[in-house]
Chains A and B, each alone.
Chain A
Amino acid sequence: MKKNMLLELFLTFLKIGAFTFGGGYAMIALIAKEAVEKRKWITEPEFIDLIAIAESTPGPIAVNSATYLGYKLKGFFGAFFATLGVVLPSFVVIVIISFFIEEFRSLEYVNYAFTGISAAVAVLIINAALKLYKSLEKSWFSIILIIIAFLLLIFNVIPTPYIILSGGLIGFISYMIAKKKTVDHI
């Protein structure tokens, strides 16, 4: 029984890894279908909590979901096999592609195609930004942070890791201030 469950976790996440493109949000729908509807591993509210956790922790959402769900169901080995499953299709496909991509990329018409794609990548990024923006609480606090981060990056003022960590630090400071206020009121 235990072995079967590990195999099932591995195969389910292998399928999730193999059939979603781009990862992240596209993957969420497939995880819901597999883990909630089909296999009844978790309930709908548990799934919503899972996504909230995967989004509030660092790292790819797909890997976060796999590790968390795997661990909840079958401990360390559950986490290990679920994560291995979600990573493996990517790994194999990319390794195979990388053997012939440079030759393929240097073909004339492929080059035209990639020049076209490079204009579209900017669109993909702005759509990701808009999606994330929609999930934000609309406040001056958010708007100001967006503008500051934008300017810091575009003028290359400080390296990106420090910009991200500063965002977290500012969030933490706002928490301490809010906490102090509630303590003062008591």
Chain B
Amino acid sequence: MSVLLRLFWAFLKIGILTFGGGYAMIPLIQEEAIANGWMTSSSLSLVDYIAISESTPGPFAINIATFIGMNEAGILGAIMATLGVVLPSFIILMFVARFFARFSSNLMVKSVMKGIRPVVVGILLAVMVTFAIKAIFNVNVLDFTFALFDYKALIIFTIIFVLSRLVKKLSPVLLIIIAAGLGIILYGLF
């Protein structure tokens, strides 16, 4: 399959399986990145993609799809990846709007979502743990070689977490900007 078709197909799958907001896409993107060899030729890591997609306007899902598509195969790649992530939504929602007047109060839909939502919470928590460990210990979870303990990352993690819980009005963009500032201060000046 050509690079473009693979991008389209990968993001089509991701679009179909994304429930409960963009972050649930992260493990899906991670797995597709490994399967397709994305991000190997780029100096950007997945965390960079997430940070930039979160701090630019528009839906996170669209941003990250466009971004990966663009970096893997230029403007056509961006179009194919974005098309892939949008198409399932587009088709399904038109279908729902046309045929299901009471979709969200339908008992079967509710039951299926009752199974999916907790699973997505579990997935997000697992992604969070792997990201936190990766940032603080500079290792993958399964390596168990905590040789590179980064106390500065732990400090930033703690400050941002406490701040986000205390001041609920802080948007993700603001938290990212504060974390960037803390990164420059802690790594640059000390």
Cβ-defined contact, A175 with B44, below 8 A: no
Interface bits A142-156 vs B (CB < 8 Å: 1, else 0): 110111111111111
Q: Which of A126-179 contact B (CB under 8 A)?
A: 126-129, 132-133, 135-137, 141-143, 145-156, 159-161, 163-172, 174-175, 178
Interface bits B8-52 vs A (CB < 8 Å: 1, else 0): 000001011111111110111001000000000011110110111
Cβ-defined contact, A161 with B17, below 8 A: yes
The verdict on B85 contacting chain A, using a C-beta distance below 8 Å, is yes
Cβ-defined contact, B59 with A58, below 8 A: no
Cβ-defined contact, B157 with A148, below 8 A: no
Question: Using Cβ atoms and an 8 Å threshold, which residues of chain A touch B56?
Answer: 21, 90, 93-94, 97
Cβ-defined contact, A125 with B127, below 8 A: yes
CA distance A84 to B87 in the complex (A): 11
Question: Using Cβ atoms and an 8 Å threshold, which residues of chain A touch B186?
Answer: 112, 116
The verdict on A72 contacting chain B, using a C-beta distance below 8 Å, is yes
Contact of A170 among B19, B53, B115, B153 (CB under 8 A): B115
Contact of B92 among A57, A116, A132 (CB under 8 A): A57
Cβ-defined contact, B97 with A125, below 8 A: no
Interface of A, helix, strand, loop or mixed by DSSP? helix
Say yes or no: A56-B50 contact (C-beta < 8 A), given A120-B176, A121-B131.
no
The verdict on A19 contacting chain B, using a C-beta distance below 8 Å, is yes
Q: Which residue of A has the minimal Cβ distance to B141?
A: A154
Give B183 Cβ to nearest chain A Cβ, in Å.
Answer: 2
Q: Which of B161-190 contact A (CB under 8 A)?
A: 161, 164, 171-173, 175-176, 178-184, 186-188
Give A11 Cβ to nearest chain B Cβ, in Å.
Answer: 15
Interface magnitude class on chain B:
35 or more
Contact of B123 among A79, A101, A108, A153 (CB under 8 A): A153
Cβ-defined contact, B175 with A76, below 8 A: no
The verdict on A95 contacting chain B, using a C-beta distance below 8 Å, is yes
Question: Using Cβ atoms and an 8 Å threshold, which residues of chain B touch A72?
Answer: 97
Contact of B82 among A87, A105, A154, A163 (CB under 8 A): A87
Give B4 Cβ to nearest chain A Cβ, in Å.
Answer: 16
CA distance A137 to B117 in the complex (A): 10
CA distance A160 to B117 in the complex (A): 14
Cβ-defined contact, B135 with A112, below 8 A: no
The verdict on B148 contacting chain A, using a C-beta distance below 8 Å, is no
Say yes or no: A116-B115 contact (C-beta < 8 A), given A53-B104, A87-B62, A94-B63.
no
Give B185 Cβ to nearest chain A Cβ, in Å.
Answer: 8
The verdict on A49 contacting chain B, using a C-beta distance below 8 Å, is yes
Q: Which residue of A has the minimal Cβ distance to B16?
A: A58
Cβ-defined contact, B108 with A22, below 8 A: no
Cβ-defined contact, B115 with A167, below 8 A: yes
CA distance A15 to B160 in the complex (A): 30
Question: Using Cβ atoms and an 8 Å threshold, which residues of chain A touch B188?
Answer: 108-109, 112
Binding site for A on B (CB under 8 A): 13, 15-24, 26-28, 31, 42-45, 47-48, 50-63, 66-67, 70-71, 75, 78, 82, 85-86, 88-90, 92-94, 96-98, 103-105, 107-132, 134-136, 141-142, 153-154, 156-157, 160-161, 164, 171-173, 175-176, 178-184, 186-188
Can you list 20 residue pairs at the A/B interface with Cβ under 8 Å?
A: A23-B60, A56-B103, A57-B93, A93-B56, A94-B56, A95-B66, A109-B188, A115-B183, A117-B179, A120-B176, A123-B164, A124-B50, A129-B121, A132-B121, A135-B117, A154-B141, A160-B28, A161-B17, A165-B17, A172-B108
